[in-house]
Structure formats: C-alpha cells, structure tokens
C-alpha cells in the first residue's frame, strides 16, 4: 500500500472549507433561485468585503475541489493497475454511489449540489484516462474548447437579453423567485423544477472534465510529491497564479455581470493552482503548524463535511430553521463561515479519532464492499463451470 500523501488531504480540506465560503452566501440569500445574480449585484453595489471574497473564494475553491477529484480518480486508476484489476471496474460503482448521494443531497438539502455533476464527469474521465496520455491531452483540449464555446453562447444570449430589457419601457421590477418556506415544500420545489436547478450542473461538465484531467496530469507529473521535481513544477504553478491568476481574478471588482461570469467560469482555475503551490510551499516550511492538521481532518472526511456544512447552513438560514437569511450583513456572513468551519473541524477530529472514518465515507465503503463481494461470489460460481 502506498503511503498517503498529506498534501492531498490538506488541499481537499482547504477546498471543502473554501466551498462553504461560496455556498454560505447562497444560503444567506434565502435560497433565492437567482442567488448567483443577486450576489453579483451585491458585488457591483460596492461591498469591498464581498468583492474580496468573490476574488479569492467564489469559483476558486470549487475549481480546486474539482482538480482534487481528478487527483482522486488518478489514484484509483493507479491502484487498479497495481492490483491488475479491470478499469474502470469497481470505480463505476463509486460513481453510481456518488450520483445517488448527490441526488439525495440535492433533494433534501441544497439545490446547488455538485456531486451529481462530478459523478457524470468522473464517468467520462474514467474512460478517457483508460486511453492513455494522448487521449487525456485530446480530452483536455476538446472539453476546454466546448466550455469556452458554451460560455461565449451564454454571454451573447445575455447581451441580447440586456438589450431587450433596455428597450422594454414597462419599468416593472423583476419578480424574485424564492424557495417555499417549509422543508417539505422545498423538497417538492426542487423535484418539480429539477431540470431548472440542474442547468449549471450540466453547463459545468465540460469545465469539470478539463479540471479532472488537469488533476490527473498534475498527479502523474508529480506536482504533489515533496521531491525536487514536485517543487520545480509547483514553482511554475506559483508564477502562473501570481502573474496571471491574481490579475485576472481581480477583474471581479469591475462592476459588470459578464465580467464576473467570465472570472467565475474561466479565470478561477488559475488561482486554484496558485493555492496548490502556496499551500505546498507553506507546508514544507511549517509542517507542524496546527492549521494543517485541521485541514487534514476535513480532507479525510471531505464528502461528510461537504454535506454537513450545507445541512448546518440550511438550519441557520432557511425559514424552516432559524431563518437568518436576509437578517445579517456581509461581516456576519463571513463570521458564520468561520464558525461553521471550526465546528466542522471539531466534528471531523472526533470522528477520525473514534471511528477513523467519516459517516458518508463509511456508508460508501460498506456499500462498495457488499457489491464487490457479491460480484466475486458470482465470478467464483461461474469459474466452477
């Protein structure tokens, strides 16, 4: 068994807590189905704190998390090669469980779930990876081009809609759509308008595919190893993030919806790889720093923490819970993010100390074990004949 790479767990934990830094704003807007537009409007209205969060968090942490999913896929692929087992093989069951987990999470907790999108992306990437390095490179080019084309089409559509709105002389304010007040009615709403809520999940599949494959290539290149080659590659990532990522993502301060859209869906990955380089460099210099252990706790329970943080936010912000949505300002939203993060770290530490695994990870491992055992039994009976 290969030694676990600590940096990967730390990066996963950092990405999960950072993803909360994005999602907490959606919850704070009362589950508005157009929360993304509302948040963009808030940035435009001059809130420096929200713009700062947007520059360093919004989209960046999700891109980092997506890259880490690609890294995880590559680790599973290498494990299958070492054991000389078919690929994708049992990994398809992992993706099926991820899709089911995502659907349950979407239905019961949060309409902006990404797990279902990751499951579909993982299926595509699993077969791309099987084709070797050349197919991986072609897959990155193809998915990147498709994503940029889709972005361009959406931007052109938005511009035409803006022109139509300018020509409209009615002057009537747009109606705001919000989730119903009770939990049951929220569940019904999500299921009734399933495809509307899943539009972004479908839209980001080409981008996710590119980032999954980027994670695969980074893992194969040795970016995450604490050797000379890893350090050399991370220096390149650092320069890309510093000289390209930071300036491009700083454009979020420009008061324009389309600019914010491009930053979110095109420029965010540049800052994500910057975080990889910076965290790796800091870890090498301050390996015993307690914060790394905290991130590591969350990283080892990434799935459980992702779902837990959204459950906590639902209870805090939705009307069927404490109903804090619309009641607190930007500094208090950031404070809520920090407090929920600390709570997750504490829960992760306790779970790992007692059970050495998170609850969702345990359920998945048990389900996968049952499927694998049944498959082996069927295979044994077949071999008898």
Of the pLDDT bands very low, low, confident and very high (cuts 50, 70, 90), residue 168 is low
**Torsion, Cα of 121, 124, 129, 131 (10° steps):** -170
Residue 354 CA, chain-centre distance (Å), reads 27
Q: In 76-110, which positions are buried (b, 16+ CB within 10 angstroms) versus exposed (e)? A: bbeebeeeeeebbebbebbbebbbebbeebbbbbb
Closest CA to 37 of 183, 201, 209, 176: 176
In DSSP terms, 32 is beta-bridged to 178
Tokens representing 384? 């008898």
Whole-number Å distance between alpha carbons of 336 and 342: 10
Tokens representing 266? 């095109």
Whole-number Å distance between alpha carbons of 52 and 249: 10
Domain assignment present for 167: no
Task: Say how many C-beta atoms besides its own lie within 10 A of residue 37's C-beta.
Answer: 16
DSSP for 187-200?
A: HHHHHHTHHHHTHH
Give per-residue pLDDT as tens, 192-239.
Answer: 999 999 999 999 999 999 999 999 999 999 999 989 999 999 999 999
Whole-number Å distance between alpha carbons of 383 and 371: 18
Whole-number Å distance between alpha carbons of 176 and 179: 10
pLDDT value, residue 30: 63
Domain assignment present for 316: yes
| Helices 268-285 and 6-28, packing angle to 10 deg | 130
Domain assignment present for 199: yes
* Region label for 174, one of left (φ > 0), alpha (ψ between -120 and 50) or beta (otherwise): beta
Specify the 3-state DSSP secondary structure of 92: helix
Q: 64 versus 326: which is more confidently predicted?
A: 64
Of the pLDDT bands very low, low, confident and very high (cuts 50, 70, 90), residue 141 is very high
Residues 6+ apart with CB under 8 A from 305: 13, 16, 17, 298, 344, 347, 348, 358
pLDDT value, residue 26: 86
Share of the chain above pLDDT 90, in %: 69
Give per-residue pLDDT as tens, 16-46.
Answer: 999 999 899 889 876 554 444 454 454 444 4
Based on the number of CB atoms within 10 Å of its own CB, is 28 exposed (0-12), middle (13-18) or buried (19 or more)? buried
Q: Is-contact 271 243, C-beta < 8 A? A: no
Give per-residue pLDDT as tens, 47-63.
Answer: 677 788 889 998 999 99
* Region label for 277, one of left (φ > 0), alpha (ψ between -120 and 50) or beta (otherwise): alpha
pLDDT value, residue 343: 97
pTM given for the model: 0.90
**Mean per-residue pLDDT over the chain, rounded:** 87
In order of 89, 157, 216, 219, 224, the CA distances from 77 in angstroms are 10, 40, 10, 11, 17
Cα-trace Rg, the chain: 21
Q: Is the pLDDT of residue 171 over 60?
A: no
Give per-residue pLDDT as tens, 249-273.
Answer: 999 888 888 888 999 999 999 999 9
Q: Provide the domain limits for residue 52.
A: 6-157+182-384
Q: List, in sequence order, the alpha helices (H) in 57-114.
A: 60-83, 91-108
Tokens representing 323? 């109903």
Q: Is-contact 109 200, C-beta < 8 A? A: no
Q: Is-contact 147 208, C-beta < 8 A? A: no
Domain assignment present for 177: no
Whole-number Å distance between alpha carbons of 247 and 225: 28
Share of the chain above pLDDT 70, in %: 86
Based on the number of CB atoms within 10 Å of its own CB, is 242 exposed (0-12), middle (13-18) or buried (19 or more)? middle
- Count the domains in the chain: 1
Domain assignment present for 173: no
Whole-number Å distance between alpha carbons of 74 and 67: 11
Average pLDDT on 276-291 reads: 94
Residue 202 CA, chain-centre distance (Å), reads 14
């Amino acid at each position: 068994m290969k030694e676990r790479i600590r940096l990967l767990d730390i990066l996963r934990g950092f990405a999960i807590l950072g993803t909360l830094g994005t999602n907490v704003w959606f919850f704070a807007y009362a589950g508005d189905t157009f929360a993304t537009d509302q948040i963009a409007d808030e940035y435009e209205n001059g809130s420096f704190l929200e713009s700062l969060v947007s520059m360093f968090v919004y989209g960046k942490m999700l891109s980092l998390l997506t890259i880490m999913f690609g890294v995880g896929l590559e680790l599973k692929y290498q494990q299958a090669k070492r054991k000389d087992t078919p690929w994708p093989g049992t990994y398809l069951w992992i993706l099926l469980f991820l899709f089911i987990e995502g659907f349950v999470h979407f239905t019961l907790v949060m309409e902006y779930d990404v797990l279902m999108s990751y499951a579909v992306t993982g299926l595509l990437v699993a077969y791309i990876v099987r084709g070797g390095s050349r197919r991986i490179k072609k897959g990155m080019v193809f998915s990147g081009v498709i994503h940029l084309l889709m972005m361009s089409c959406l931007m052109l559509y938005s511009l035409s809609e803006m022109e139509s709105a300018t020509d409209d002389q009615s002057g009537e304010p747009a109606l705001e759509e919000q989730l119903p007040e009770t939990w049951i009615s929220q569940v019904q709403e999500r299921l009734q308008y399933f495809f509307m809520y899943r539009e972004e999940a479908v839209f980001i599949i080409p981008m996710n595919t590119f980032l999954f494959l980027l994670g695969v290539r980074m893992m194969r290149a040795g970016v995450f190893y604490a050797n000379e080659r890893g350090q050399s590659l991370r220096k390149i990532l650092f320069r890309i993030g510093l000289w390209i990522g930071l300036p491009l993502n700083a454009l979020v301060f420009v008061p324009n919806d389309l600019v914010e859209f491009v930053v979110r869906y095109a420029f965010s990955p540049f800052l994500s790889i910057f975080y990889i380089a910076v965290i790796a460099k800091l870890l090498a210099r301050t390996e015993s720093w307690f914060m790394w252990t905290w991130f590591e706790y969350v990283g080892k329970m990434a799935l459980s923490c992702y779902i837990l943080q959204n459950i906590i936010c639902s209870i805090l912000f939705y009307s069927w819970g404490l109903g804090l949505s619309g009641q607190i300002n930007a500094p208090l939203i950031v404070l809520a993010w920090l407090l929920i993060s600390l709570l997750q770290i504490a829960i992760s530490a306790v779970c790992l100390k007692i059970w050495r695994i998170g609850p969702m990870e345990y359920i998945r491992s048990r389900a996968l074990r049952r499927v694998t055992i049944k498959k082996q039994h069927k295979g044994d009976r077949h071999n008898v004949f």
